[in-house]
Amino acid sequence: MGLSPSKLFEISTRLSNILSAFEASGIRIQIGDDFATYRSLRTRQSDRGPIYAMFDVASSYIDRDNGFWICGYDATGELVHTQAVRLLDLSGGTLATHLNNHRHKYITPDSTPDPDLTFYSGPDALHSITGRVCYHGDFWLRGRGLGGPRSQGATSLLSRLLIEIMVGAWNPSFVFALVPKSLAAKGAHLRYGYNHCDPGVWLGPDQQITDEDYLIWMGANDMANLLARPTPSLHVTSNTPKFSATNGAVAEMSHLDAQANV
């Protein structure tokens, strides 16, 4: 069943307000579903790690039916933000099974001596997340000190933008992301709007910990509650310079924020 006219108008209004807020701060938002274009944009970023396989058309089947991406550009046209989402059909299994079967597409490159014998474990939620499930990742935002978009609240608003579109398009049962332990300890999941944050590790061939990624996730009710809350605002004043990437610091989340490995 499609959205009612009133619901569609409500979503459209929120999206328009978000896009207007970014435009006022000097950030132009682009939303697309051509992942060949996205791969081209990402491969030109020499200061970042490679694109994750789940969003790479050279490694995975992803198109307009099961994915979209968001990019942000500053006033000079430089790419300053990326994030993407992919819809997974896990109706015949769980996230635990999916991550086991497709672990090569989630393992951080060069983090383990043998990806074939490395598995993700820890969170109990792995065994209860099923159905229509979205994977949110490749979140990256270039900042610039206290005047940059991160301090203006752009992280929360960018995540909200993706979740608004994702829920409106697919109405998933769950959404999840993987976050480095260092960022999870700082409450990264709260900035991205996620309710749950569960410790998890990648175990290598000798049961050694090769990487520590926390599982952050939301169920359908969590997403509905998030979208019912007021839309976050950007903290922009007349004295705040419009965003430019010059001399910027980088915030990026392993799968969802920073190649500090968000």
pLDDT at residue 153, as a whole number: 81
Q: Is the pTM of this model over 0.85?
A: yes
CATH superfamily of 5-252: Gcn5-related N-acetyltransferase (GNAT) (3.40.630.30)
Q: Where exactly are the structural domains of the chain?
A: 5-252
Sign of the CA dihedral running 45, 41, 217, 191? positive
| Beta strands 131-143; 174-180: pairing state | parallel
What DSSP letter does each residue of 162-227 carry, written as one string?
HHHHHHHHH--SEEEEEEEHHHHTTTHHHHTT-SEEE--EEE-TTS-EEE-EEEEEEEHHHHHHHH
pLDDT at residue 257, as a whole number: 54
For the record, the structure tokens of 247 come out as 């001399």
Pairwise CA distance, residues 158 & 234, whole Å: 10
Contacts of 139 (CB under 8 A, 6+ apart): 82, 83, 158, 159, 177, 192, 252, 253, 256, 257, 258, 262
Q: Which of 210, 54, 255 is nearest to 118 (CA)?
A: 210
pLDDT surpassing 80 at residue 118: yes
User: What does the pLDDT look like over 133-147, one tens digit per residue?
Assistant: 999 999 999 865 434
User: What does the pLDDT look like over 51-76, one tens digit per residue?
Assistant: 989 999 999 999 999 999 999 999 99
pLDDT at residue 262, as a whole number: 35
Q: How confident is the model at residue 121 (pLDDT cuts 50, 70, 90)?
A: very high
pLDDT at residue 147, as a whole number: 40
pLDDT at residue 1, as a whole number: 56
Q: How confident is the model at residue 152 (pLDDT cuts 50, 70, 90)?
A: low
pLDDT at residue 242, as a whole number: 52
